[in-house]
Homo-oligomer: A and B are copies of this chain.
Amino acid sequence: MPNQKPRKPDKKPEKRSRQPDVTRRNILDAALYEFAAKGLAGARVDEIAARSGANKRMIYEYFGNKEGLWLTVLERAYEKMREEEHAIDVARMPPREGMRYLMEFNFKFCSRNPEFIALLNAENLHKAGYLRHSKKIQQLYTPLLVVIQDLLERGVKEGVFRKGVDPVELYTTIAALGFFYFSNVHTLSTIYGRNLLSPKQQKARMEHSVEVILGYLRP
């Protein structure tokens, strides 16, 4: 089986090498997987190189060192979340529906992105030392908080929400209800003796979480 694929240098380099963007992206994907599975200290650069199909030299050329790679992966994960969150259009929903939607989105996002959770936990182990260097993160959540504020105000006006709820506290609570469950699935599953990752358990948990939020918000 001789490889005569690259014999055709037409204007569109469809397959094969010399595509830095693709290589870069492959490295980041592999790194996300490895970091999420083993943390920063446990992850192996050789493993990332092997999994990405690239090579260590490329990794160090693109990202400098292991920590540089970590920071890039972390920022990329946050960006992904922002993008998805950006797609939320809650502003014109009725307050209660809007709040339910927010909670469900958050829950499902955590369910779909366990690597994101592992990454955040690892970063907290490092006391957010890397995240602090990323200036763009800080204003990332403002739009979401504005949306929540708006929902709260409209809810109060319509008489379906209680007064005096702080949007930051509420957002933290929403995040907590989604995040904690998936962050601690394994120890919780062990303690309760059930598989909390089963769709049935997940659904029940999401329903309960929505109920907690909406129940609390009643006037």
The answer to whether A120 has its CB under 8 Å from any CB of chain B is yes
Contact indicator A121/B123 (Cβ below 8 Å): no
> Which residues in window 179-219 of A have CB below 8 A to B?
179-181, 183-193, 204-205, 208-209, 211-213, 215-218
The answer to whether A131 has its CB under 8 Å from any CB of chain B is yes
Assembly stoichiometry (copies): 2
A125 to B34, CA, bound (A): 12
Interface-facing stretch out of A18-26, A87-95, A165-173: A165-173
A206 to chain B, nearest CB (A): 11
Residues of B within 8 A of A190 (CB): 128, 131-132, 137-138
A184 to B183, CA, bound (A): 11
Residues of B within 8 A of A173 (CB): 177, 208-209, 212
Against B, the Cβ 8 Å flags (1 = close, 0 = not) of A42-57 are 1000000000000000
A189 to chain B, nearest CB (A): 7
Q: 15 A-B Cβ contacts within 8 A?
A: A118-B125, A120-B184, A124-B183, A124-B185, A131-B186, A131-B187, A137-B191, A166-B208, A172-B180, A172-B205, A175-B180, A179-B184, A180-B183, A212-B213, A215-B218
